[in-house]
């Protein structure tokens, strides 16, 4: 995302909801929306990487005013075509620098989207940009995986995350640079396709330091949206930082 390349163009946006259908279920969406609605209170919510509205639409349906920042116009078109989508304001641009109008009680990045920023500098800039959007006492929420390096035996750099009859997905890691990529192989009607997206994996403690640099401090960290405890065996975390300066 730091090179402003759109990896979620028309070909990805057209099937995004179907390809990530498991993340659109009530079990996946409702706990996240409940936490974000509580943090928003009577204020506004800002979603970085609003996409097709998986979280923004149900959050808005609970009475929270939601604004999104989005790089992909194709993804935003899907959002606007859905019931309630026109009520979600969208600012187009890279969420390290793009400024949405007004201030917000909560800002959030879900579904590993912080890793779309492929350098440490960009991730730091994201925290600073969020802090500039938040009202004093506002919160920033990130949902992101814990890097699965424990699954890498010596000499291996790939970890599969989906193996099916028509689809293969695997992540590759460079432990020297924290660069990684997700690779998607599909075979449909006898024809194959390949899609790859670069990421930068990031550790919880590293995120905490980024927050401190932006004038925020850690308030909560859970293993999931259900607020279950975060442990050494957790494969993901939901972290909440609070803006401490004015």
Residue spans of the domains in the chain: they are 10-146+202-243, 149-197
Fold agreement (10-146+202-243, 149-197): no
pLDDT-derived band at 20 (thresholds 50, 70, 90) equals confident
Nearest to 50 by CA among 26, 29, 66, 27: 66
Percent of the chain's residues with pLDDT above 90: 87
Beta strands in 1-157 (DSSP E): 44-48, 65-70, 89-92, 104-109, 134-145
Q: Is 1 a residue whose pLDDT tops 70? A: no
- Rounded (10°) CA dihedral 146, 110, 101, 98: 50
CA-based Rg of the chain, rounded to a whole angstrom? Answer: 18
Sign of the CA dihedral with 135 first, then 136, 137, and 142 last: positive
Look at the domain 149-197 and name its fold.
N-terminal domain of TfIIb (2.20.25)
pLDDT-derived band at 6 (thresholds 50, 70, 90) equals low
Nearest to 11 by CA among 69, 79, 74, 76: 74
- DSSP letter at 214 equals T
**CA separation, residue 19 to residues 15, 27, 82, 184 (Å):** 6, 17, 17, 11
| Of 149-153, 194-198, 224-228, highest mean pLDDT | 224-228
- DSSP letter at 164 equals -
As given in the structure block, the two tokens for residue 204 are 């919880």
Q: Is 3 a residue whose pLDDT tops 60? A: no
User: 10-146+202-243 is classed in which CATH architecture?
Assistant: 3-Layer(aba) Sandwich (3.40)
């Amino acid at each position: 995302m730091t090179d402003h390349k759109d990896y979620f163009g028309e070909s990805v946006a057209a099937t995004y909801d179907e390809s990530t259908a498991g993340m659109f279920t009530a079990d996946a969406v409702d706990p996240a929306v409940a936490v974000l609605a509580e943090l928003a209170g009577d204020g506004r919510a800002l979603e970085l990487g609003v996409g097709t509205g998986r979280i923004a639409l149900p959050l808005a349906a609970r009475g929270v005013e939601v604004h999104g920042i989005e790089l992909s116009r194709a993804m935003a078109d899907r959002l606007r075509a859905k019931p309630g989508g026109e009520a979600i304001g969208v600012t187009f641009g890279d969420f390290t620098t793009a400024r949405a109008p007004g201030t917000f009680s909560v800002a959030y990045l879900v579904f590993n989207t912080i890793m779309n920023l492929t350098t440490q500098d960009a991730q730091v800039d994201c925290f600073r940009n969020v802090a500039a959007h938040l009202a004093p006492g506002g919160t920033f929420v990130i949902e992101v995986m814990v890097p699965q390096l424990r699954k890498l035996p010596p000499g291996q750099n790939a970890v599969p995350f989906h193996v099916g009859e028509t689809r293969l997905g695997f992540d590759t890691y460079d432990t020297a640079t924290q660069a990684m990529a997700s690779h998607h192989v599909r075979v449909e009607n006898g024809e194959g396709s390949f899609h790859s997206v670069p990421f930068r994996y990031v550790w919880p403690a590293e995120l905490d330091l980024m927050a401190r640099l932006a004038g925020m401090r850690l308030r909560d960290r859970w293993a999931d949206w259900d607020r279950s405890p975060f442990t050494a065996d957790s494969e993901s975390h939901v972290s909440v930082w609070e803006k401490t300066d004015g």
